[in-house]
Amino acid sequence: MEFIHNNNQIAVYTPDYLVVAEVTFPDLDENTVNVNHTFVDDVLRGQGIAGKLMEELVQNLRQSGKKAVLTCTYAIKWFESHPEYADVLAK
């Protein structure tokens, strides 16, 4: 599965370029993003794709030096279950 890193989005596309999984994180300012949406299509659910999107997001944030504010309910729960990634969260 290929994760495509776009500006403020990490997504998985079908061959027809339809989004079947994504996390979006618009900029709040030059150093902070808002993780506001996670989506996984029914055809991919139960395969851990949302968690993999979060791991891709963590890599992206670490590389960019940005911090995240979480407003997406899935992201909030995921980060609560993975405190080892708390370094990318805004204080």
Q: In this structure, how many other beta carbons lie within 10 angstroms of the beta carbon of residue 65?
A: 8
pTM over 0.85: yes
Cα 59 to Cα 68: distance, rounded to the nearest angstrom: 12
Mean pLDDT (10-residue bins), the chain, 91 residues: 95 96 98 98 95 98 98 98 98 86
Give tens-digit pLDDT for 27-49: 999 999 999 999 999 999 999 99
Residue 47 gets which letter from DSSP?
Answer: S
The total of structural domains in the chain comes to: 1
Task: Identify the CATH number of the domain in which residue 76 sits.
Answer: 3.40.630.30
The closest of 22, 40, 38 to 76, measured between CA atoms, is: 38
Q: Could you list the residue range(s) of the whole structural domain that residue 84 is in? A: 4-88
Residue with tokens 């279950």: 81
H or E stretch including 51? helix 49-64
